Amino acid sequence: MAQESGTDAVPLTTLRDVYVSALANSEKIAISEQSVSQAEALYRQTRGANLPDLSFQHDTFWQRRKDTQHTGAFQIQKYGLTGYRELAALRAGRHSIAQAKYDKQRVEQLLLVDVAGAFYGLVEARQNVASTERLIALANDRLNELRERVRVGRSRNAEPIQQDYQITALQSQGEEHSRSVGAYVDFLTYLSGRPVQPPPATEVSTQTFVRSLESYLSRLHSRPDVQSAEAAVSAAKGVVDFRRGDYLPKIDLGLNLYSYRPKFYKETKWDASLGVNVPLWAWGARTGAVDSALAAFRVQEQTLRFVLRQADLEVRNAYRDVLSAQKQCELQAKAVDLARRDYGIQLRDDRQGLVTSLEVLESLNRLNLAELSLTNFQVQSRLNAIKLEIAAGARPEEALK
């Protein structure tokens, strides 16, 4: 296989680098960019359709064999002009562009959540591997000691077997964590399109400044999904106004600038026309169009209400998760310290015949669980901080600070 070259061959090591690469690699981001381009193109189409058409019209009229008449004119025409409908259509188009842009920003936010979840999952798995290896080393030391004690008749034959069983369980645990490392590396490579170097276990920092809940709730309207829903409401209102414009009189305008005409019209270089169409009856077609647009408008209003309520709940949950994870980090750090001290005391007491070998095994298991829990809450603390910023409407680059 050919070796990769250039920047693609350089492994990504930080969350920011992985996210930036994932932005360039994501099909969802590319699709959302095309949605913005499509909305902008539709707006240009709407704007052009509301302006007069310029064309050149040629007519040939045959009356007798030698009496052929030719007419050529530049024409400027606009039919069905109300002014109100045209402005409403342009307003709706502008809001549709804004909606597409906000949707793109939301996709970028959700991509960061996916990348951060995998990145910190990788960090946790790496830390768990390192922790398990340390515990296996302690258990091996203990096993060697028990075997020596069995040799001299100071311990039962079952005790080394029990210790060996614990080592096997820890090795199985380590294998599962190693599998998780590989899975997260593959997922991050899939997201970023670049090789990913597992970050060192010390990279996660749980030091996060958390403001008041009210300060996060006050930013709800800066969330892209909320802004998108607000833009959708405005766009739907523009469609209602457009449909109501069908009740207004329509003006037809025409201007012809002749470049050539039959001889008996030759002195007339131009003419203009003005027509007024007053709608009277359309068998309920206009009413149905307005009612349909009003229903769509009310749907968007309810959607906005739902998005706001959901955003409020997400912020409250994310805020609670951050505070809880930080508190758990403090408690689990204390638990790890106590478990390490307990294991040391249990070893000492075991050598003095004050405790059983089973109690030492249980002590090592407690230390194992405490270290795994501490790692989990350290990672969750940092990941929850990012989720809180995203839930409160922060842009990805702000959440990564």
Asked if residue 141 belongs to a domain, the reply is yes
Q: What percent of the chain has pLDDT over 90?
A: 73
The mean pLDDT value for 41-46 works out to 95
End-to-end Cα separation, the chain, in angstroms: 38
**Domains in the chain, number:** 1
Encode pLDDT of 146-171 as tens digits.
888 888 887 788 888 988 999 999 99
Asked if residue 383 belongs to a domain, the reply is yes
Single-letter amino acid code for the residue at 368: N
CATH code of 245's domain: 1.20.1600.10
Q: Is the pLDDT of residue 264 over 90?
A: no
Asked if residue 1 belongs to a domain, the reply is no
Q: What is the DSSP string of 135-201?
A: HHHHHHHHHHHHHHHHHTTSS-THHHHHHHHHHHHHHHHHHHHHHHHHHHHHHHHHHHSS-BPPPPT
CA distance 156 to 285: 94
Integer angstrom CA distances of residue 73 from 67, 158, 203, 265, 328: 20, 108, 75, 13, 82
Asked if residue 81 belongs to a domain, the reply is yes
Asked if residue 342 belongs to a domain, the reply is yes
The mean pLDDT value for 228-251 works out to 95
Q: What percent of the chain has pLDDT over 70?
A: 94
Asked if residue 116 belongs to a domain, the reply is yes
12 forms beta bridges with 196
pTM: 0.87
Host domain of residue 208: 6-399
Q: Is the pLDDT of residue 6 over 80?
A: no
